[in-house]
Amino acid sequence: MEDAYRVFNLARLSKSDVFCDLGCGHGMVCIWAAPHCRLSIGIESLLTHARIAEMNVREEGIGNVRIIRDDFIRHPPASANVLYCTIDLPLRFYDRLLSCSEDKRLRLVNFGPPPVPVKPTATDGLFCLTQFPFELAETTLEWCSAVAGKEGATWRAVATKYGAIDAGALAGHKLKLKRVFNAARI
């Protein structure tokens, strides 16, 4: 629950916002977000998890939470202006959000770094906030500094900060850094 409030604070979640948890699982983050926003939406592709989330929402008796069974990668929510996700999202998803979002003040909080070369607007612990329209880093150093949350940060700082999340995703970021910025070594 503490991490959920960290997400809400990082995104500056307010009563006028529509919050969406992408891959909401059992719906608890949606339930915790409900008192802080106008509408809280959970999108879950797994039928069993979506049903459990719906049951949890009913048991809590919260009226401003909706659970949708869908694939959020294929169908990003157009009405939400604050998104939260715990998985590594591809760059094409960020591009799709730019084109389909109704609210151009869209904010996305990710658990872990955004895809290379997207620069997060802010970080808090292992969470990164990306404000849309997002900015792209022009160098490896610029991306690493933004993701690590400190000027002059190198890949080592990124790997140290996010190393406990997912070794495969982190290795993918490193390969993308090399490819995007044509770097022989990182």
**Which of 35-39, 85-89, 104-108, 125-129 is least confident?**
104-108
Residue-range domains of the chain with CATH:
2-137 (3.40.50.150)
pLDDT in tens, 38-71: 999 999 999 999 999 999 999 999 999 999 999 9
The pLDDT value recorded for residue 104 is 67
Distance CA 14, CA 8 (A): 9
Angle ∠(68,48,170) on CA atoms, nearest 5? 80
Per the prediction, the chain carries an average pLDDT of 92
How many alpha carbons lie under 13 Å from residue 103 in its C-beta half-sphere? 17
> What letter represents residue 92's amino acid?
R
